[in-house]
Amino acid sequence: MDPSSAGAGGNSLASASCGDAQKRRVCYFYDPEVGNYYYGQGHPMKPHRVRMTHALLAHYGLLAPAKMEVLRPLPARGIDLCRFHSDDYVAFLRAVTPETQLGQVRALRRFNIGPDCPVFDGLYAYCQTYAGASVGAAVKLNHGTHDIAINWSGGLHHAKKSEASGFCYVNDIVLAILELLKLHEVTSSYSARTCVPFFFQFFSAFLVFFWFV
> Which own/partner contact pairs does 84-91 have at CB distance under 8 Å and 24+ positions apart?
84/161, 84/171, 84/174, 84/175, 84/178, 84/209, 85/159, 85/161, 85/162, 85/170, 85/171, 86/161, 86/162, 88/162, 89/161, 89/162, 89/163
- Cβ(184)–Cβ(138) below 8 Å: no
- Cβ(167)–Cβ(89) below 8 Å: no
Residue 184 bears catalytic tag: no
Q: What angle do CA 31, 36, 37 make, to 5 degrees?
A: 100
Alpha-carbon distances, residue 147 vs 3, 14, 15, 66, 68 (angstroms): 19, 12, 11, 14, 11
What's the rounded Cα separation, in Å, for the pair 30 and 95?
25
Active-site pick, 85, 146, 158, 184:
158
- Cβ(185)–Cβ(90) below 8 Å: no
| Catalytic positions | 158
